[in-house]
């Protein structure tokens, strides 16, 4: 009899009606079905772990990104991607608001909120009213380091949060 691997999942016996309990062919078939669906039962027991962005195996991370609609960039590391998945439900409700932009900037990129300045013209216009010419959202990030390293991430972040009808510009100031 072959030795069972220690990490192999336990095979759950498939219950049979009493009339088939002594039929060796039916019993062998039921044992085969139990062995085939055994790993699924183990996975279902760990479903909460698979759906948690901080405990999910790396192989499930891309799947979590897709099902949550998380915004991720191709150059993000695993921590940033997990953070994006964890933030996705909250951002779905708050995206487009300055505090959501600041929170994503801080949690994903580590940019302190006090270094991110948002000039939001705001306002609601009804009927024939028109917004003033040149109305534009401006987001400025003060950094220490090469400004070029921050320009594209800042642009992408603001583009994800800025309403489609509002033009915007980004600026990176400071630098080494």
Quote the pLDDT of residue 173: 95
Question: Does residue 116 sit in the same domain as residue 77?
Answer: no
Question: Does residue 86 sit in the same domain as residue 108?
Answer: no
Q: Domain containing 151 — which CATH number?
A: 3.30.1340.30
Quote the pLDDT of residue 131: 73
- pLDDT digit string, tens, across residues 62-78: 999 999 999 999 999 99
Question: Does residue 147 sit in the same domain as residue 79?
Answer: no
110 forms beta bridges with: none
Which segments in the chain show pLDDT lower than 70? 1-13, 37-39, 41-43, 176
- Separation of alpha carbons 5 and 28, rounded Å: 21
Question: Does residue 80 sit in the same domain as residue 117?
Answer: no
Any domain includes 11: no
Q: What are phi and psi of 116, to 5 degrees?
A: -110, 115
Question: Does residue 62 sit in the same domain as residue 118?
Answer: no
Of the candidates 69, 134, 141, the residue with the CA atom closest to the CA atom of residue 101: 141
Residue span of the structural domain in which 118 resides: 97-122+135-176
Any domain includes 75: yes
Please report where in the chains the tokens 């400004």 appear, as a residue.
147
- Separation of alpha carbons 46 and 78, rounded Å: 21
Sign, CA dihedral 11-14-19-20, equals negative
Question: Does residue 71 sit in the same domain as residue 115?
Answer: no
Quote the pLDDT of residue 12: 64
**3-state secondary structure (DSSP) of residue 146:** coil
Quote the pLDDT of residue 17: 83
Any domain includes 60: yes
Question: Does residue 140 sit in the same domain as residue 166?
Answer: yes
Any domain includes 160: yes
Question: Does residue 51 sit in the same domain as residue 104?
Answer: no
Whole-prediction pTM value?
0.70
Quote the pLDDT of residue 31: 78
């Amino acid at each position: 009899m072959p030795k069972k691997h220690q990490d192999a999942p336990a095979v759950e016996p498939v219950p049979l009606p009493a009339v088939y309990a002594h039929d060796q062919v039916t019993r062998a078939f039921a044992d085969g079905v139990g062995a085939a669906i055994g790993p699924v039962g183990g996975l279902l027991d760990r479903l909460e772990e698979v759906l948690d962005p901080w405990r999910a195996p790396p192989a499930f991370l891309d799947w979590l990104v897709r099902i949550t609609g998380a915004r991720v960039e191709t150059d993000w590391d695993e921590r940033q991607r997990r953070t994006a998945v964890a933030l996705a439900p909250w951002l779905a409700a708050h995206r487009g608001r300055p505090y959501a932009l600041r929170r994503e900037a801080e949690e994903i990129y580590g940019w302190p909120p006090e270094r991110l300045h948002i000039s939001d013209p705001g306002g609601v216009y009804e009927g024939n009213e028109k917004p003033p010419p040149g109305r534009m959202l401006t987001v400025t990030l003060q950094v220490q380091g090469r400004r070029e390293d921050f320009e594209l991430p800042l642009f992408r972040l603001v583009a994800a949060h800025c309403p489609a009808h509002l033009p915007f510009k980004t600026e990176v100031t400071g630098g080494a």
